[in-house]
Structure 1
Amino acid sequence: MKMVIAATTAALTAGAAGCSGGEGGSGHGEGTLVMGDSFSLTHPIGSNGTEQFIEGLETRGGDVGLDLQYFASGQLGKQWDMPTVVRTGVADISVISPSYVASEMPLSSVGDLAGLVEDACVASYALKDLMFEGGILYEEEFKPLNIRPLWIGVIPAYEAMTSERPVAVPGDLEGTVQRSTGGAQDRIVDAVGAAGVAMPIGDLYEALTRGTVEGTVASPVSITPYGLHEVIGHSTKGANLGSFTVVYSINEDTWQSLEEDQRALITELAEKSQQSLCEGLNQSVEDSYREMEKENVSFTDVSEDPEAWDALLEPTRQNWVDDLEKMGKPAGQVLEEFEAALEKHAHRAERTTP
């Protein structure tokens, strides 16, 4: 198999425009899949999941007539562009982050709500029940966009982090300007009385340095890959302010055009990527805490006296339900099914193999 990484965006876009009929499969060369990613292969999401998928296709794709072109680090578009990128066939496979596309996929950010997720494996398999074919999120949001999920990752352990201001209780953030991923995370920022600014985490280093924002709600996993532990001075530990979901997905028309043995290989590799990713993200939480401590980030452990933070959690979840149900979305049912799925998969926190 020949794998091409990081070709030019302009060339790919021009090729897609010439081969694709718009909505539907990409029409790229026969047997060639184009994959667009928001992350690099050095990011924990890439090194623990995407890289395994790519290597599997590189090793075994030729046996079933599959080739891959991979475009990392937002070459095909920003995180909020990804549903359009895969739906219109610019890419066959792409990563979707529900928090960045809340207007298109509001229900799929259920996994990002505060106070629900403690383990990446438990959460990703719980979401798989809802997002794969037959699940409520598949029927409500993925199927209408002509998108089929392949594997899911969840970055856990979101905390309140600031550049200069110590933070121990929610009131310490009142009146500050905080970066947010959007979606469910906006509700936590609002609940603490801060002003939220939506921006990709890749822009946060400069924003903190310039004082454009004073902090962020984020996981340690998302801090160290961007060098943010150099400019963050304070963080809670144990507040459990939410998570970040990523869904690697394939265009449905592309999927249907594949041969049975090709779909079987992609499914097998995706399943392995989901497991390796969740294990890697769990480990990355601990590794990232250690890296941040080396940079003298000051942590306030709130787990022994969590009442002030816990008081935020249930109301923000209920507000999410209420707001979406006013729009005619079955948010209450989605939250109920997700909580049940978390219970169903609780044993996965103790497993290292699928």
Structure 2
Amino acid sequence: MMRKAFLAATSAAMLGTLPMGAALAQDNPVDLRLGVWVGATHPLMEGAAEWIASINEASGGSITITVYPSQQLGAAADHYDLARDGIADISFVNPGYNAGRFPIISYGELPFRFNEAAAGSRALDQWYRDYAETEMSDVQFCMAFMHSPGTIHTTRPVTTPADLSGLSVRPANGTLGQYLSGLGATTIQASAAEMRDLLSRGTADGTASPYSSLATWGIADVATHHLDMPMYTANFVFVISPVAWSRLSEAQQAVMNDHCSTEWAGRIVEVWAEEDTVERAVLEEDAAHVFTAPNDAQREEWLAAAEPMIARWRELATAAGIDAEAAEAGIQAAIAEHDAGL
């Protein structure tokens, strides 16, 4: 009897010294459904695959993640609610597809804020962690990130804000839509997947996109004029369903927390950012594509036109119950820390 007690005590002590991976391997296996609205070959998915593999390894194989691409679980605009309602365990959300619903994070959509995807993602994620609970309290926030700064791509030349008058342009989000509308453009609300059809039918004269999207969505042959200045970024978040979170053990939750980080916010977009650089270079070699860079005076016109948008964001942030001045100072400090500003 004493020997059995000794062996039990020894076994318990040994379990306490097991490596984290071994302990996690004893957890119940969990397969999480990741809903994304982009296709399986989208450049973001390479970064996501690395993220998924790292989670699986760190969890000792107890966490697997199955991707459901191309809106299999629901429409692009519904992905936040898919996680909230437990239809997806993790979802890829563009907050800008729900105009006005997430006013705080929309700071990242303001024109002329960021210079690069990975650095900008780290700055945005680091800053937004203090505010995610305010406007995303019904899900488990994971991380925020962005694509490379995009611009407008049109079927005719655009150099100055006045050139937008009378044009129909598909904006990437509501914030950019307000900016373009204020410059005289007619905006068309549509998802990225609908861009080619709108342009080829003449329903739209242009779209706001990073260069990689011209290849991803097959529109490089219809939008051949490019305003050569980084105009905007689109924000994205990974969020986790509370139902799925409750299924994870404490050790598994720790693994997810380690992968829902500012570091991973930058890492997950690296391949996407590289793709953007490559696609731009391809277009530059194609004589059919025209890149128009505004001169200094014209650039100042574009920048000055963004001031009302910044003032509007301050109003919305205040209405959301936060100190807009402090929040703006915080994001500017994060941008400076990560060298992410224009």
Could you say which TM-score interval applies, normalised by the shorter chain? Answer: 0.7 to 0.9
Report what 2:253 is aligned to. Answer: 263
Structure-to-structure mapping, 1:281-300, within 5 angstroms: 281-295=272-286, 296-300=288-292
Equivalent pair of 1:38/1:72 in contact (CA under 8 Å): yes
Q: Evaluate the alpha carbon distance shift between residue 42 and residue 324 of structure 1 in structure 2; reply closer, same or farther with a 3 A threshold.
A: same
Q: What TM-score, normalized by structure 2, do the two folds share?
A: 0.82
Residue of structure 1 equivalent to 2:232: 242
Q: Could you tell me which of 169, 175, 181 is aligned with 1:190?
A: 181
Checking the alignment, whether the CA contact within 8 Å between 1:224 and 1:292 is kept in structure 2 is no
Asked if 1:111 is matched to 2:108, the reply is yes
Counterpart residue identity of residue 322, structure 1: E
Please point out which of 319, 333, 342 is paired with 2:312: 319
The one-letter code matched in structure 1 to 2:172 is T
Cα offset, 1:98, TM superposition: 1.1
Shift of 1:259: 1.5
Match of 2:52 among 45, 51, 54: 54
2-side partners of 1:303 and 1:277: how far apart?
34
Residue number in structure 1 paired with 2:133: 139
The alignment's C-alpha RMSD in Å is: 2.4
2:148 alignment partner, one of 148, 153, 156: 156
Distance 1:173 1:129, change over 3 A: same
Contact 1:131 1:149 in 2 (8 A): no
2:207 aligned residue: 216
Q: State the secondary structure of the residue aligned to 2:136.
A: helix
Which secondary structure does the structure 2 equivalent of 1:116 belong to? coil
Partners of 1:106 and 1:283 in 2: CA distance: 29
* SS of alignment partner, residue 230 of structure 1: coil
- Judged with a 3 Å threshold, the aligned counterparts in structure 2 of structure 1 residues 30 and 287 are, in CA distance, closer, same or farther, namely same
| AA matched with 1:250 | I
2:32 corresponds to 1:39? no
Higher Cα radius of gyration: 2
1:127 aligns with 2:137: no
Match of 1:232 in 2: 223
Is the 2:103–2:320 contact (alpha carbons within 8 Å) kept by the matching residues of 1?
no
- Counterpart of 1:74 in structure 2: which amino acid? Q
Per the alignment, residue 24 of structure 1 pairs with none
State how many pairs are aligned.
Answer: 311
SS at match of 1:228: coil
Counterpart pick for 1:334 among 323, 327, 330: 327
When residues 276 and 57 of structure 1 are mapped into structure 2, their CA distance, relative to the original with a 3 A threshold, is same
Note closer, same or farther for the CA distance 1:117–1:67 as it changes in structure 2 (3 Å cut). same
Q: 2:169 aligns with which of 175, 178, 191?
A: 178
- Output one character per residue of 1:95-118: Cα deviation in whole Å (capped at 9) or x when no partner: 111111223212222111111111
The alpha-carbon deviation at position 242 of structure 1 amounts to: 1.3
Do residues 310 (structure 1) and 303 (structure 2) align? Answer: yes
In the aligned structure 2, how far is the partner of 1:276 from the partner of 1:72? 20
- Paired with 2:251 and 2:322, the residues of 1 have a C-alpha distance of 37
Could you say if the C-alpha distance between residues 90 and 30 of structure 1 is closer, same or farther in structure 2, counting changes exceeding 3 Å? farther
Taking the aligned partners of 1:57 and 1:250, their CA distance within structure 2 comes to: 14
Q: Is the 8 A contact 1:53 1:270 kept in 2?
A: no
**Residues 33 and 92, structure 1, Cα contact 8 Å, conserved in 2:** yes
Aligned partner letter, 1:167: V
TM-score by length of 1: 0.80
**Is the 8 Å Cα contact of residues 207 and 213 (structure 1) preserved in structure 2?**
yes
Secondary structure at the residue paired with 1:198? coil
Q: Check conservation: 2:124, 2:145, Cα contact below 8 A.
A: no
Q: Which stretch of the first structure deviates more once superposed, 192-201 or 332-341? A: 332-341
Q: Deviations over 1:149-196 (max 9, x none)?
A: 223321132212212x11111111111111113321112211221011
CA distance in 2, matches of 1:331, 1:191: 23
1:41-120 to structure 2, matched below 5 A, reads: 41-47=40-46, 49-59=47-57, 61=59, 63=60, 65-120=62-117
* Residue-by-residue CA offset, 1:8-46 (whole Å, 9 max, x unaligned): xxxxxxxxxxxxxxxxxxxxx962211111122321221
Task: For residue 74 of structure 1, report the CA deviation from its aligned partner.
Answer: 1.1
Distance in 2 (alpha carbons) for counterparts of 1:77 and 1:329: 32
Listed as ranges, the gaps of 5+ residues in structure 1 are 1-28, 350-354
